[in-house]
């Protein structure tokens, strides 16, 4: 049997400053990056802040209109919002300049005596606008103007976001972490199931069918229920849950009356190039992650965990509901921590060899990821 082994990227690509600078400019400034959830921007004055390709960006709801700007005051360049999310007017904390939905500083304390700006002069001071678009449950921004629309960029992944949108009903955890590893090392840790029996032996592995079996059985390729679907430059992997995995999610579903998906049934894992994943377990528990580059050897991970709507709201709000949230949060934190530790180990290893990694057929999603990267860098 011929087996197609491929070569990974050269190790230097995981720490070299000039590669990193190119990535920011050619990948991160040009792709749609996740800002947060549409539900986090549902009300007037709801805002999110995010850093993309080295730029601080604020996304804000102005009476139902979602706008994004560079998060830099026109007066003396303070950040307009500091927190990662919240509800406040777009007003600078330094001297109180207040901005409208066009990014124009319409409220300037002491304008008459100190500046005497007329309407036109104020308009000329408008904040730099940034492209923002919403698809299904997610809000994306793009730093560089031009290029494909969000829907074009999502391609065949877009309908999946629509399909899964109802599951994003109930946000119960929103957190972040810093990993001392290149963003690609972090992404690669999510793109195969090969490591699951080793790195997640007692945590995640028992949730998956065959998850306790080492090596080739344990990957997201390629039998009846376990598949890899290429979605343009994005990809979708499905792994069947074990009986235990199904049973434990089933218990949450019935106890809390959760309206699970009829479409997603296994461990459904979406990767949106270059650095975002959406995971759905048993059509019920949703996790969204973005691995943001913070430097050649540091990654900022932001993640959200959600449950679908409940037909038993009293149960959902009860101590039993909170216990489920806590269990899922702890489980997710543990699995991510296991991935962080192994990723930081890989990062150190990259410095000690010039040989590229070898990728087996069960690491095809990593090879696809590398192909997309090579097209750009």
By CB under 6 A, name the binding residues for ligand FES.
73, 75-76, 78, 92, 94-97
80 vs 290 by CB, closer to Fe ion: 290
Which entry of Fe ion, ligand FES, none binds 78, CB below 5 to 8 A by partner kind?
Answer: ligand FES
Which entry of ligand FES, Fe ion, none binds 339, CB below 5 to 8 A by partner kind?
Answer: Fe ion
Q: Which pair of tokens denotes residue 280?
A: 């759905």
Minimum CB separation of residue 123 from Fe ion in Å reads 50
Minimum CB separation of residue 336 from Fe ion in Å reads 8
47 vs 194 by CB, closer to Fe ion: 194
Per the rule left: phi > 0, alpha: psi between -120 and 50, beta: everything else, 86 is: left
> What one-character-per-residue DSSP string does 332-352 give?
HHHHHHHHHHHHHHHHHHHTT
72 vs 279 by CB, closer to ligand FES: 72
Which entry of ligand FES, Fe ion, none binds 75, CB below 5 to 8 A by partner kind?
Answer: ligand FES
Sorted by sequence, the CB contacts under 8 Å of residue 45 that are 6+ apart come out as 60, 61, 62, 87, 88, 89, 90
Distance CA 211, CA 196 (A): 7
Minimum CB separation of residue 105 from ligand FES in Å reads 8
How many residues are present in the chain? 377
Distance CA 191, CA 131 (A): 28
Minimum CB separation of residue 95 from ligand FES in Å reads 3
Distance CA 284, CA 237 (A): 17
Minimum CB separation of residue 41 from ligand FES in Å reads 23
Distance CA 316, CA 13 (A): 47
* Residues near Fe ion (CB under 5 A): 339
Which entry of Fe ion, ligand FES, none binds 83, CB below 5 to 8 A by partner kind?
Answer: none
Which entry of ligand FES, Fe ion, none binds 201, CB below 5 to 8 A by partner kind?
Answer: none
97 vs 373 by CB, closer to ligand FES: 97
Which entry of Fe ion, ligand FES, none binds 97, CB below 5 to 8 A by partner kind?
Answer: ligand FES
Cα 252 to the center of its chain, rounded Å: 25
Minimum CB separation of residue 108 from ligand FES in Å reads 8
For Fe ion, the nearest residue by Cβ is 339
95 vs 255 by CB, closer to ligand FES: 95
SS3 of residue 268 by DSSP: strand
Q: Which pair of tokens denotes residue 8?
A: 């990974």
Q: What is the DSSP letter of 260?
A: -
105 vs 287 by CB, closer to ligand FES: 105
Per the rule left: phi > 0, alpha: psi between -120 and 50, beta: everything else, 186 is: alpha
Closest by alpha carbon to 291, among 356, 355, 369, 364?
369
Minimum CB separation of residue 49 from ligand FES in Å reads 15
Which entry of Fe ion, ligand FES, none binds 110, CB below 5 to 8 A by partner kind?
Answer: none
105 vs 245 by CB, closer to ligand FES: 105
Backbone φ and ψ for 258, nearest 5 degrees, come out as -80, 135
């Amino acid at each position: 049997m011929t087996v197609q082994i491929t070569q990974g990227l050269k190790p230097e690509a995981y720490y070299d400053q000039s590669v990193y600078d190119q990535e920011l400019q050619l990948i991160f400034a040009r792709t749609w990056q996740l800002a947060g959830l549409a539900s986090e921007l549902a009300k007037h004055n709801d805002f999110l802040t995010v850093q993309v390709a080295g730029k601080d960006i604020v996304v804000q709801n102005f009476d139902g209109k979602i706008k994004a700007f560079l998060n830099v005051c026109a007066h003396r360049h303070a950040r307009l919002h500091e927190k990662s999310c919240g509800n406040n007017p777009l007003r600078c904390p330094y001297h109180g300049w207040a901005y409208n939905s066009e990014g124009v500083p319409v409220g300037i304390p002491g304008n008459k005596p100190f500046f005497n700006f007329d309407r036109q002069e104020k308009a000329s001071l408008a904040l730099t606008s940034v492209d923002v678009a919403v698809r299904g449950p997610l809000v994306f921004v793009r730093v560089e103007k031009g290029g494909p629309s969000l829907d074009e960029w999502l391609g065949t992944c877009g309908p999946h976001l629509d399909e899964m949108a109802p599951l994003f009903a109930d946000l119960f955890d929103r957190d972040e972490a810093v990993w001392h590893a290149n963003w690609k090392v972090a992404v690669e840790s999510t793109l195969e199931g090969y490591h699951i029996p080793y790195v997640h032996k007692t945590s995640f592995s028992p949730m998956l069918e065959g998850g306790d079996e080492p090596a080739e059985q344990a990957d997201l390729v390629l039998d009846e229920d376990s598949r890899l679907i290429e979605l343009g430059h994005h990809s979708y992997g499905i792994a069947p849950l074990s009986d235990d995995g199904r049973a434990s999610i089933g218990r949450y579903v019935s106890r809390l009356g959760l309206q699970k998906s009829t479409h997603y049934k296994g461990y459904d894992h979406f990767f949106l190039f270059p650095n975002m994943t959406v995971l759905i377990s048993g059509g019920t528990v949703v996790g969204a992650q973005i691995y943001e580059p913070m430097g050649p050897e540091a990654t900022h991970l932001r993640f959200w965990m959600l449950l679908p709507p409940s037909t038993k709201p009293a149960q959902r709000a009860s101590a039993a509901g909170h216990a489920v949230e806590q269990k899922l949060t702890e489980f997710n934190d543990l699995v991510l921590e296991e991935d962080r530790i192994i990723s930081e180990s890989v990062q150190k290893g990259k410095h000690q060899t010039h040989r590229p990694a070898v990728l087996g057929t069960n690491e095809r999603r990593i090879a696809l990821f590398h192909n997309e990267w090579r097209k750009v860098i």
